Amino acid sequence: MKPMFKSAALQDDTAAGPQTVQDDRILIMANPTSGGYRPSVLDEVRKRLSAGGKDVCLRLTRHAGEIGEVCADPSFDAGVLVIAGGDGSINEALAGLQFRKAPPKIAVIPSGTANVLALELKLPKKAKAIADAILEGRTQPLHAGLANDHPFVLMASAGFDAEVVHGIPLALKRRLGKLAYVLTAIKIGLSRQTSNLQLTVDGNVLHGKLAVATNGRLYGGPFEVAPEASVTREGLQLLVLEKDDPLSSMRFGLALLLGRVHRARGVRLVPFQEAVFGSDRPVAVQIDGDPFGVTPVTVRSSTGHLEIIVPH
């Protein structure tokens, strides 16, 4: 069996870093390029944590990948890692932490174009509430799925939505936020060539045009796609859309906004352990809102978890 998130994070003998972490040491890693970046909130959280007796270090990233590098560094010993950013930054932290012997608790200062994890866990946005939660230290387990053994916290998908994630110009995303996704979806939707996905799901074969392996309940914002799923519980669900012609895509889009996409005609939702996403030609894949190459991709549920700080 392949290493799972838990075994990789907590039981791997080759894991890097000290056996313990310094509980009072807090590292805030902030992505200043994330959508809705809020330096004033960062500053206030830092001051409140320092006033609460914590040894706080704030580090602004200078390049993509830096959060993962810091998390994987053997000298990392903070007891709490606070990510100020969006879902992509949180994903980087998970990937970097997965091989540690003693991972820190995770906390989030939500920003990002659509911080779905913050919505899933109802994480606070105001500095006082964020700092209070970190000082109290109440946690819930944060489970992850694996795409080609790379952790994802929200979803891994192949098809039209991933094409949009691959195709969205960064400058447009920074300028227009969520609207940039809609405009890019319309542009790509008018010219794209559809592909057929073959999904081998725990040994059974399903066919579809778009497949989303979701670790949580929500997708793309506050939109419910898998009512039974939760990032705080082990297990993944697979949402398969059988069609992606413009009319069907509009119908599914509307159902998504209404929180009913899992019940729409032409949509299946199944719990699974392992799914291999194959296709008749390479199809774009995304995890947690960032590009992740093309099919084929193998998506697995994992048994391990990190601890994420949540409010009372």
Ligand X SMILES: Nc1ncnc2c1ncn2[C@@H]1O[C@H](COP(=O)(O)OP(=O)(O)OP(=O)(O)O)[C@@H](O)[C@H]1O
Please tell me whether residue 89 binds ligand X under the rule CB under 6 A. Answer: yes
* Of 165 and 267, CB closest to ligand X: 165
Cβ-based neighbour number of residue 203 at 10 Å: 8
* Of 115 and 215, CB closest to ligand X: 115
Q: What would the x/- binding string for ligand X be over residues 98 to 117, using CB under 6 A?
A: --------------xxxx--
119 close to 108: Cβ distance less than 8 angstroms = no
- Binding window for ligand X (CB under 6 A); candidates: 19-27, 79-87, 152-160, 198-206: 79-87
Among 9, 17, 34, 159, binds ligand X (CB under 6 A): 34
Please tell me whether residue 63 binds ligand X under the rule CB under 6 A. Answer: yes
Among 8, 46, 72, 92, binds ligand X (CB under 6 A): 92
Please tell me whether residue 87 binds ligand X under the rule CB under 6 A. Answer: yes
Please tell me whether residue 64 binds ligand X under the rule CB under 6 A. Answer: yes
What is the b/e burial string over 208-244, where b = at least 16 CB atoms within 10 angstroms of the residue's CB?
bbbbbbbbbbbbbeebbbbeebbbbebbbbbbbbbbb
Among 23, 55, 274, 290, binds ligand X (CB under 6 A): 290
Binding residues for ligand X, rule CB under 6 A, total 22
* Tally of helices (H runs) and strands (E runs) in the chain: 10, 18
CB of 273 to ligand X, least distance (A): 27
* Of 17 and 86, CB closest to ligand X: 86
Nearest residue to 236 (alpha-carbon basis) of 299, 305, 284, 292 = 299
Find the length of the chain: 312
237 close to 275: Cβ distance less than 8 angstroms = no
Token pair listed for 304: 């391990």
Q: Pairing state of beta strands 105-110 and 78-85?
A: parallel
Please tell me whether residue 62 binds ligand X under the rule CB under 6 A. Answer: yes
Among 9, 17, 31, 223, binds ligand X (CB under 6 A): 31
* Of 33 and 198, CB closest to ligand X: 33
Token pair listed for 107: 């906390």
Please tell me whether residue 157 binds ligand X under the rule CB under 6 A. Answer: no
Please tell me whether residue 286 binds ligand X under the rule CB under 6 A. Answer: no
Among 17, 86, 159, 208, binds ligand X (CB under 6 A): 86
Give CA separation, 77 vs 17, 55, 74, 97, in Å.
8, 12, 8, 11
150 close to 298: Cβ distance less than 8 angstroms = no
Please tell me whether residue 61 binds ligand X under the rule CB under 6 A. Answer: yes
Site residues for ligand X per CB under 6 A = 31-35, 61-65, 85-89, 92, 112-115, 289-290
